[in-house]
Amino acid sequence: MISLRKLTISPDTQLQNLGWDWMLGQDTLPYLANEVVVVQAEEADAYYDAVNELFEMFVTAGQHIIDGNRFAEMGIPANLVELIKLSWDDDRHIHLYGRFDLAGGIDGRPIKLIEFNADTATCLPETAVVQYAHLKANGLDDSQQFNAVFETLTGQFEELLAVNPDLQPTLLLSAIRDFPEDDTNVALLGEAAREAGFDIEFDFIDNVEFSAEEGIFWQNPKNGQFEKLDFWFKLVPWESIAEDEPELVKLLTEIVRKRLAVVLNPAYTLLFQSKYILKILWDLYPNHPLLLETDTKPLAGKACVEKVLFGREGANIRIINMDGSERLAADGDYGDYPKIYQQYVEFPQDSEGHTYQAGVFYAGEACGLGFRRGGLILDNKAGFVGHVIN
């Protein structure tokens, strides 16, 4: 059983004191729980070690996919393959950050990889700032949390500047219009980049201009002039760009090839984002203690979870019983993608039957823990629960 601890004082005042007033909006705080998961120090250490090991395994799997030209199996759009190879083969294209979703790790259960949100991971503000402020509001010390997300992200941006000295430290951060939660995630990344030495601008992706000969441009509303920026972060999935904006893929391929800009996260993160990599990992590391058996067909005699290769927030997931019958299913917009089948594992639960999935951010190293709480399938209604180290 999950152990919870009540933290009754809201973090509102602490967020204001930190200068993070923008986080007090309607899309961030209402689903923050007033209790936290109690984590033992050795459990926090185990999450850290597991995620660092998993990332190395993902890199090995990525090289395996490229060497074997297995992009089609992965569901990778053909028009992205060249850009994936360009960014993979150039170490200046750093993977900025992602979030590993994990079962277990507490309540005596082994840690198991569920998936890696490598491209457009959210829950950054909740993990990096809100749960920290919640801890401080209740008189606890920040050493009682596995949470260095903001500092580690800042370090990643510093590293980007160090390995790209030929580019200007100008960063444009873009999300899709009318998604306020995305805006807060992008704003946090912008704060980390600013601290690292970047000049930053924000704009929605439909306002960004791309040129295969000159690079990426933003129109400054103050003077109407188009200004070139040498780094671009997009909280827009690569597979969506490839499917909906094929001309943009062509432009970005030329922009990266000619060193006109660095795009974050790089295109190769789609290799990690595709859930087909869960099968590749099982093939490369059979019976690894951090992995769950995964195949392209239901697992004979075992309960399993049917997932689409590119799905988000629990959409289009089916839980299948040992006898092949359906236990639970979630609708969604991703049903046309191919599917994989991952061995089912029970998530830890609290006394009220809520399930808990650990999320551990990775930004050059494992850097922060938080939990999502909900039902058997964690969808976009799942809550965020912070943690305290006992």
Residue with tokens 């938080």: 370
Residue with tokens 């990690």: 272
With a cut of 90, say whether residue 357 has pLDDT above it. Answer: yes
Distance, in Å, from the CA atom of 311 to the CA atom of 296, rounded to the nearest integer, reads 16
Asked whether 118 and 88 are in contact (CB, 8 A), the reply is no
Q: What value does the mean pLDDT of the chain take? A: 91
DSSP, collapsed to helix, strand or coil, labels residue 311 as: coil
- What mean pLDDT comes out for the span 334-355? 89
User: CATH number of the domain at 4-25+36-274+347-389, out of 3.40.50.720, 3.40.50.1760, 3.40.630.30, 2.40.30.10?
Assistant: 3.40.50.1760
DSSP percent split of the chain into helix, strand, coil, nearest 5 = 35, 25, 40
Distance, in Å, from the CA atom of 291 to the CA atom of 5, rounded to the nearest integer, reads 30
DSSP-derived letter for residue 349 is B
CA torsion through residues 166, 171, 176, 180, sign: positive
With a cut of 60, say whether residue 58 has pLDDT above it. Answer: yes
Confidence band (pLDDT; 50, 70, 90) for 382? confident
Per cent of the chain over pLDDT 70 is: 93
| H helix intervals, the chain | 12-18, 41-67, 81-88, 124-125, 131-137, 149-163, 180-196, 238-244, 246-257, 269-273, 277-284
For 114, 186, 280, the CA distances from 286, given in Å and listed in that order, are 16, 37, 10
Give the pLDDT score at 337: 77
Read off the pLDDT of residues 276-297 as tens digits, 9 standing for 90 and up: 999 999 999 999 999 999 999 9
DSSP-derived letter for residue 207 is G
Please name every residue paired with 383 in a beta bridge, in sequence order, or none if there are none: 373
Distance, in Å, from the CA atom of 112 to the CA atom of 103, rounded to the nearest integer, reads 5
- What mean pLDDT comes out for the span 161-177? 96
Residue scoring higher pLDDT (364 or 22): 364
CA torsion through residues 138, 139, 144, 150, sign: positive
- Between helix 81-88 and helix 246-257 the angle, nearest 10°, is 30
Give the pLDDT score at 29: 45
Strands of the sheet with 199-202, listed across from one edge? 199-202, 170-174, 231-234, 262-264
Give the pLDDT score at 362: 98
**Which burial class, exposed, middle or buried, applies to 287 when counting CB atoms under 10 A from its CB (0-12, 13-18, 19+)?**
exposed
Least confident of 157-161, 328-332, 359-363: 328-332
- What mean pLDDT comes out for the span 131-142? 90
Euclidean distance between the first and the last CA atom of the chain, given in angstroms as a whole number: 16
DSSP-derived letter for residue 265 is S
> CA torsion, points 330, 242, 253, 90, in degrees to nearest 10?
20
CA 280 to chain centre: 20
* Cis amide linkage into residue 390, ω under 30° from 0: no
Read off the pLDDT of residues 367-380 as tens digits, 9 standing for 90 and up: 999 999 987 877 76
Give the pLDDT score at 24: 53
Residue scoring higher pLDDT (379 or 28): 379
Residue with tokens 């000295």: 165
Give the pLDDT score at 383: 81
Positions of CATH 3.40.50.1760 in the chain: 4-25+36-274+347-389
pTM (2 decimals)? Answer: 0.94
Give the pLDDT score at 310: 86
- What mean pLDDT comes out for the span 78-104? 97
